[in-house]
Structure 1
Amino acid sequence: MKKRSLLFTLAAFSPIFLWAQNNLSVKVIDEKENKPLVGASVSILGSLASAQTNRQGVISFKNVKDGDYIVRVSYIGYKSVEKQLMLDSSQELLVSLSSQEFIADEVIVHATRANTNAATTYKNLSRQDIAKNNLGQDLPFLLDQTPGVVTYSDAGAGVGYTGIRVRGSDPTRVNVTLNGIPYNDAESMGSFFVNLPDFASSVDNIQIQRGVGTSTNGAGAFGASINIQTNTRTDTAYAELDNSFGSFNTWKNTVRIGTGLIDNKFTFDGRLSRIKSDGFVDRGASDLKSFFLSGAWYGKKSLLRANVFSGKEKTYQAWNGVPEEKLFGTTQDVESYIAANGLQGADAENIRNADPRRYNSFLYKNQNDNYQQDHYQLLFSTNVSENLSLNAALHYTRGRGYYEEYKAGANYEDYGLTPVIVGDSTISTTDLVRERWLSNHFYGVTYSAQYKANERLNLTLGGAYNEYKGDHYGDVTWSRNPLFIKNAHEMGDERFDTRYQYYFNDAKKTDFNVFAKGAYQLDRLSLFGDIQYRRVGYSFLGFDRNLNNVQQEADLNFFNPKVGMTYQFAGNDQVYLSYAIGNKEPVRDDYENSTPDSRPKAERMQDIELGYRRTTSRFSLGINGYAMLYKDQLILTGQINDVGAQTRMNVPDSYRLGLEADLKWQPVRNFSWALTGALSRNKIKDFYEYINVYDAEWNVADQKVNHYKSTTIALSPSFVGSSELAFVPIKNGEVAFISKYVSRQYLDNTSNKDRSLDAFFVNNIRMSYQLKFKSVKNIGLSLLINNIFNEKYESNGYTYSSIYQGDPAIYTSNFYFPQAGTNFLLGLNLRF
């Protein structure tokens, strides 16, 4: 593994120099006024060359080889132009752009996007990039080849519950927006893409900004922000069928239709999807359904788009993982685990006989998670004048669902019930089935205004107001024994279907932010400033000073400034430097299980980014270093607060230092090599671990404290690398060899190797072929073979430790989420 890591490091960070014959200079001007267009996007199709024009409206590409090329030029508010040229010597190309009859959909996300000259670290993915791997796996897996990303799947094959970590930051620290509208859950701050199955099939482009990034809406971006834009305008009518089949009885069926442009004003698009899979893990099945509808009106100066989309998921729970004793231990280790956890009957036989890598502790047939999420978006953009454009969006999200589980030997007192007396017997425990419900409403408005004061100065003012209302409640839906005295006479029955609600609480959260940012061009130097004010109000059920459950409130005010500068060299070389401050509030569990005295503080981070970008026709490189300096970062320590709960605690000082590279080399047209590398040091300066000491009745009698200096932050690998070798052996055909390496990850913050995930190196092969046949515009065949060398690895896990009855030995329980071995997905695309 060390050799593999070294190879990735050398490949990702070694400078590569290319020699070619010609220079191509492209100048872009306004057709009517003959003035240069600053920031126009220029790309040479079939090569890697892509950049924006400078203050003179010029961009130069050096070392372009001889050949026939198509140069594409685009600029918001203007019609895109493609020009063919045969290059056999250095040339200067003049391109005139005429005003667009319609507003382009890109203006919808313009306020929260980083452009080519931005002093921030980002990665753009086009619809074509996403479609290559979109054969049924969840959206995080389609982002796996971007720098510093680690993905994981509860069921092991990328379908169902999945997650993404960027720079070691978990999903609660990754801000996600859909057309500029927040997607993270307002309370847990997680992003659950399982609630939007096959959403990637309705996505036009994605931008991932690592670090704090530019101002955005919703939760603070402490690891990254993922900015997603859905379908944009398609002028011609189409119908498209996508069908995939693969290992573990995985099926994906997608139908897409679009009217094209009607009367030069209207478009309508729709998608209907179904994904089903048995999962790699036993009983890790998923049944996912979704739809997406979009209608747009295009005027000469305005755009109005309405999106309605929904996802419904039914997923068998696989979130317990596999205990270490089963995954790596001996038969005796498994028997010891059975005895220590009191497993009996079917549960004991299950862990004895299951495949160690596919073991699932749940056996109840309806141990399912059920959730539906409906989204409504109304997006409006208008050009008030040549220099001023306005954007606004109204949104509403309705979410509701539950997870059902079987609990054996549940205590009546834990459900607010008194034991039932039948004759001479007192019944204080029962087997039962419970449902834990979440029902919520999320709605609000986002807005922005872009003002181009002159050729040098661009200003943006934006913000949002969002409100969340959520009900949390639990119902007992079945009990083996009677729950109440009134049905004790029914003891002869084996089933009691009386629904009983054993808890209920609601929450309300408001989130207001306003930001102003500007970019000023000084010849080759671009200066950037961004100021955001954010106010969060949260009303929730928590504990008071007397340990009674009462409604509490928390109000937080955040000020998030950002500054940066970018210097453009004579060619397509750039250097940039930025400094940003981000703040983030605690999540629901942090508040709910605390009193005002023990309530954790908000987190604060300083983010410094220094980078270099270079683009030529055959080579592109982005390399950056970063320092993310945390104050009061919230992490799990095991410490019990004043209500006896283990919640996350603030640690005063922690940091992430890293170096990232993202490069692509295309020495000839039919071969390319893309590489990413992320080398990092992620440390907590002083960490105190608290371990529960239990008495004979399994009550917490004390806590043992261990102190660590400069320890590694949990689930933060020191190196993440990826590689994609793509070869086009025949026209419209491609073969790609895709690799991913992730170094060791610790399950907690102690840097203990015995509580860690081993490094892993996984390789995939992707093959595709596109052809046309009569009235069929495209017939696409795709084959994705994952983990071709059958690597046995785990990309996620958790751990906890305890001490029993004064025994000085520490008992540690590690749990892992094994990922699938060799598996495949075969896809067929038909477009009419």
Structure 2
Amino acid sequence: MKRILLTLSYLGVAGILHAQQTTAVADSFYQLSPIEVKAIRAGEKTPFTKTNLNKAAIQKLNQGQDIPFVLNRTPSVVVSSDAGTGIGYTGLRIRGTDATRINITLNGIPYNDAESQGTFFVNLPDFTSSVNSIQIQRGVGTSSNGTGAFGATVSLSTNEVNEKPYAELNNSYGSFNTWKNTVKVGSGLINNAFTLDARLSRIASDGYIDRASSDLQAFYLSGAYLRERTTLRLNVFSGKEKTYQAWNGISASRLKNDRTYNPAGTDKPGEPYDNETDNYNQTHYQLFLDHQVNSRWHLNTAFFLTRGKGYYENYKGEQLLSEYRVPDVVLGDTTITSTDLVRQKWLDNYFYGQIFSIRYKQEKHEITLGGGWSRYTGDHIGKVIWAKYGFDNGYIYYNNPANKTDINGFAKWQYSFTNAWSLFTDIQYRYVQHQMKGFEDNPTLQVKRKFNFVNPKIGINYLVNGWNAFVSYAAANKEPNRDDFEAGVLSQPKHEQLHDFEAGVEKRTDKFYAAANLYYMLYKNQLVLTGQINDVGAATRINVPDSYRTGIELQAGYIFSTWANINANATFSRNKIKAFTEYVEDYDADWNKLGYFGIAHENTSIAFSPAVIAGYDLNFLPAKNLEFSLLGKYVGKQYLDNTQNKTRSLNDFYTQDIRAILTLKNKFFKQWYIIGQVNNVLNKKYEPNGWNYAYRLDGTVGADNGYYPMAGTNFMIGVNISL
């Protein structure tokens, strides 16, 4: 059973040169990928920009932080964390595009939230410990299941086969009372036909920001039945999170003198409200069937269900009763129009569907037909669980059901003209229907929108003697998200369109690797940030007719000797909106709202899109079982909105980390893997994320900025024991 024995532990030169480099010469990463992800991943001859992380590279980067921080060493990536530590709520941007535009799949199955299209990795605590490979495609990339890839695609795979039994214990401790405890066990092959893998995890942290605590629990269970040509696998995994809210950020004045201040819960008089928390439980069920008909035909299908339920709770001071559709309270001669209260906002949803692929391969042709369908049903419910006046406990002040249907199909054809030249074509059709019955602040707004998208892709690839070059074009279309639809009946958003042009070249030898990739991403009707926020920190967006991102991504690696190697990457980009009108709230001198004031802008930088992103890893191996690394990262200035106003920006920053790894074998246990890392050793004060609220007061335009500070010098040390 050749299929069973394939693993992803080593990738030759690409593995030695570390995580930032693409596939090895033999393209072992793609060939060893399970069929359910191979249908959407890019192979060696696929003409798109990609970075692969194998299991060994992922292990070095896994210290309990969310998946965005595992990806932070890869090109064009900027990460952020509400709690300042990478644990809890985290953010990810690739080429300046946020997580609502990054297609995320788990074993080929869509993960992005169907409505917001965001990716909440906090609901997957310690999922990295079960992941054996990751592929990041920058740009549109190849066809993917789920929400439109509008800047990048991230494919995570857990479906490996472990031939031998194993047991692992991982315990880590770090700054801010951070703990990570993981137990992993696997049966190995039983009767050459069955495997069972399991994981239990807990991560807890007080957070860098005041009260930004996290209590995360998870399990993962995977069982497989394997025959010579057929595999049946069932995955069940779940995450439960309780985090104290830190999503409000802090003001500029607090940033200077009180960087860890957290305004969440401070509506309550006296001490902050002690249960200003987010609580959510998400469970995934995945069933896969693979069948190899013969040497040329391979079939795969998978069914999935994601069940999510949870709420976040707030203490709100001086809330108008009318805003909750409750009459004023009359007590004798006194009429009470507002009250302090505690509210919960619930999500209760099901996301289910199917994916499939059929692959035909012969000497010069490889054809893949695939696609899938999904259905999302969800309830948005608001409850008042306590109030000083006017409410019965458990009062429901909104209940807005919604559903979404997503159907897609794609066809790919890769043809090798010669041993060096190959053609790749790909066309995807996608149908999307949104139906929303009211919103919290607009309960009578009924939305039913349908979209039909056709996304073609084509490219040429040249591969010979360690040289690989390509040119490609890909189109993508993307529907708005739930918050965009809430704009109103007369201002419903249009869908977005992207034309992505890419060209790349790379050279590999036994010791050296270098690559350059040029990209030009032309947007039509891109939805962009206006700088305004709602009460949970979500930004509102508008369509702008013309905008673009263009840049060059550089990567290089060199093995100096058996004891030293380096790899680095840098992105230089220009990200512009050709013309748009900013609308700010207009007030008189007494803060009475007059309406909105429009300000025209031309050729301004897109928010949160730094012109420079760079990083390097310098690794020393003084002994066979010992490794030291210097890890550096630079992110250029970012604007908080699209006006390119210097007063509404985040400063550039450079962080320096150091890491040490010691591996000991057959010392009481099969293996000790000890890893320690000190982050931000220079104690840099920096903020990778923020928000902006612009207004005009008595004829003068002003703005308030908010910031999400990251922790200063901090550490994490872990001991992984293989029994």
Q: TM-score range by the shorter chain?
A: over 0.9
1:46–1:121: structure 2 CA closer, same or farther, 3 Å change rule? Answer: closer
Aligned match of 2:373 in 438, 443, 465? Answer: 465
Deviation for aligned residue 1:361: 4.3
Stretch moving more, 628-637 or 510-519: 628-637
Deviation for aligned residue 1:562: 0.1
State how far apart, in whole Å, the 2-side matches of 1:358 and 1:405 are. Answer: 17
SS at match of 1:325: helix
Q: Match of 2:269?
A: none
Deviation for aligned residue 1:615: 1.4
Structure with higher Rg: it is: 1
State how far apart, in whole Å, the 1-side matches of 2:228 and 2:668 are. Answer: 33
Q: Does 1:617 align with 2:517?
A: no
Q: Match of 2:309?
A: 400
**Which structure 2 residues correspond to residues 465-504 of structure 1 after superposition, within 5 A?**
465-483=373-391, 498-504=393-399
Deviation for aligned residue 1:639: 9.2
Q: Match of 1:34?
A: none
SS at match of 2:146: coil
Identity of aligned residues (%): 49
TM-score by length of structure 2 reads 0.94
Q: Does 1:356 align with 2:238?
A: no
Asked if 1 retains the 8 angstrom alpha-carbon contact of 2:30 and 2:44, the reply is no
Deviations 1:111-137 (A, max 9, x none): 001011110000000111111121111
Q: Match of 2:80?
A: 152
Q: Match of 2:161?
A: 233
SS at match of 1:750: coil
Q: Does 1:115 align with 2:43?
A: yes
- The amino acid across from 2:519 in the alignment is Y
Q: Match of 1:26?
A: none
Q: Match of 1:447?
A: 356
SS at match of 1:413: helix
- The amino acid across from 1:394 in the alignment is F
- The amino acid across from 2:286 in the alignment is Q
Q: Match of 2:401?
A: 506
Q: Match of 2:652?
A: 759
Q: Match of 1:791?
A: 684
Deviations 1:592-613 (A, max 9, x none): 3321x31110000000000002
Q: Match of 2:629?
A: 736
Q: Match of 2:7?
A: none
State how far apart, in whole Å, the 1-side matches of 2:588 and 2:437 are. Answer: 30
State how far apart, in whole Å, the 2-side matches of 1:153 and 1:289 are. Answer: 19
State how far apart, in whole Å, the 2-side matches of 1:433 and 1:156 are. Answer: 26
Q: Does 1:539 align with 2:435?
A: yes
Deviations 1:243-264 (A, max 9, x none): 0000000000000000000000
SS at match of 2:689: strand
SS at match of 1:715: coil
State how far apart, in whole Å, the 2-side matches of 1:443 and 1:293 are. Answer: 19
Aligned match of 2:91 in 163, 186, 190? Answer: 163
Q: Match of 1:713?
A: 606
Deviation for aligned residue 1:638: 6.5
Deviation for aligned residue 1:43: 4.1
State how far apart, in whole Å, the 1-side matches of 2:582 and 2:16 are. Answer: 53
Instruction: Give the CA RMSD over aligned residues.
Output: 2.1
Q: Match of 2:468?
A: 574
Asked if 2 retains the 8 angstrom alpha-carbon contact of 1:738 and 1:764, the reply is yes
Q: Match of 2:184?
A: 256
Deviations 1:156-208 (A, max 9, x none): 01110001100000110100000000000000000000000100000010000
Aligned match of 2:556 in 647, 650, 663? Answer: 663
Asked if 2 retains the 8 angstrom alpha-carbon contact of 1:520 and 1:527, the reply is yes
Q: Does 1:812 align with 2:703?
A: yes
Aligned match of 1:828 in 713, 719, 722? Answer: 719
State how far apart, in whole Å, the 1-side matches of 2:22 and 2:594 are. Answer: 64
TM-score by length of structure 1 reads 0.82
Q: Match of 2:413?
A: 518
- The amino acid across from 1:564 in the alignment is G
Deviations 1:301-338 (A, max 9, x none): 01111000000000000011010122137xxxxxxxxx
SS at match of 1:818: coil
- The amino acid across from 2:488 in the alignment is S
Q: Match of 1:91?
A: none
Deviations 1:533-579 (A, max 9, x none): 00001111259xxx87143310000000000010123x110110000
State how far apart, in whole Å, the 2-side matches of 1:529 and 1:612 are. Answer: 19
State how far apart, in whole Å, the 2-side matches of 1:525 and 1:515 are. Answer: 23
Deviations 1:717-738 (A, max 9, x none): 0000000000001121100000
State how far apart, in whole Å, the 1-side matches of 2:252 and 2:626 are. Answer: 44
State how far apart, in whole Å, the 1-side matches of 2:93 and 2:443 are. Answer: 36
1:820–1:414: structure 2 CA closer, same or farther, 3 Å change rule? Answer: same
SS at match of 2:34: helix
- The amino acid across from 1:413 in the alignment is S
State how far apart, in whole Å, the 2-side matches of 1:293 and 1:145 are. Answer: 29
1:725–1:704: structure 2 CA closer, same or farther, 3 Å change rule? Answer: same
Q: Does 1:650 align with 2:543?
A: yes
- The amino acid across from 2:658 in the alignment is I
Stretch moving more, 279-288 or 222-231: 222-231
- The amino acid across from 2:274 in the alignment is K
Asked if 2 retains the 8 angstrom alpha-carbon contact of 1:639 and 1:690, the reply is no
Asked if 1 retains the 8 angstrom alpha-carbon contact of 2:400 and 2:438, the reply is no
Asked if 2 retains the 8 angstrom alpha-carbon contact of 1:46 and 1:669, the reply is no
State how far apart, in whole Å, the 1-side matches of 2:514 and 2:539 are. Answer: 45
State how far apart, in whole Å, the 2-side matches of 1:697 and 1:429 are. Answer: 21
Aligned match of 2:237 in 286, 309, 317? Answer: 309
**Which structure 2 residues correspond to residues 263-278 of structure 1 after superposition, within 5 A?**
263-278=191-206
Tell me how many residue pairs correspond in the alignment.
699
Q: Does 1:410 align with 2:319?
A: yes
- The amino acid across from 1:514 in the alignment is G
Consecutive unaligned residues of structure 1, counting only runs of 5 or more, are 1-29, 31-40, 54-58, 60-71, 77-103, 330-354, 485-497
State how far apart, in whole Å, the 1-side matches of 2:29 and 2:87 are. Answer: 37
Q: Match of 1:175?
A: 103
Q: Match of 1:373?
A: 282
Q: Does 1:434 align with 2:343?
A: yes
Deviation for aligned residue 1:690: 1.1
Consecutive unaligned residues of structure 2, counting only runs of 5 or more, are 3-9, 266-271
Asked if 1 retains the 8 angstrom alpha-carbon contact of 2:214 and 2:243, the reply is yes
Deviations 1:690-741 (A, max 9, x none): 1111247755313222212110000000000000000001121100000000
Q: Does 1:551 align with 2:446?
A: yes
Deviation for aligned residue 1:792: 0.6
State how far apart, in whole Å, the 2-side matches of 1:455 and 1:438 are. Answer: 50
Deviation for aligned residue 1:687: 2.2
- The amino acid across from 1:178 in the alignment is L
State how far apart, in whole Å, the 2-side matches of 1:75 and 1:325 are. Answer: 50
State how far apart, in whole Å, the 1-side matches of 2:547 and 2:338 are. Answer: 46
State how far apart, in whole Å, the 2-side matches of 1:813 and 1:675 are. Answer: 37
Asked if 1 retains the 8 angstrom alpha-carbon contact of 2:22 and 2:51, the reply is no
- The amino acid across from 2:336 in the alignment is I
1:302–1:50: structure 2 CA closer, same or farther, 3 Å change rule? Answer: same
1:729–1:689: structure 2 CA closer, same or farther, 3 Å change rule? Answer: same
Q: Match of 2:34?
A: 106
Asked if 1 retains the 8 angstrom alpha-carbon contact of 2:11 and 2:54, the reply is no
Asked if 2 retains the 8 angstrom alpha-carbon contact of 1:239 and 1:255, the reply is yes
State how far apart, in whole Å, the 1-side matches of 2:539 and 2:566 are. Answer: 47
- The amino acid across from 1:660 in the alignment is E
- The amino acid across from 1:669 in the alignment is T
**Which structure 2 residues correspond to residues 655-694 of structure 1 after superposition, within 5 A?**
655-694=548-587
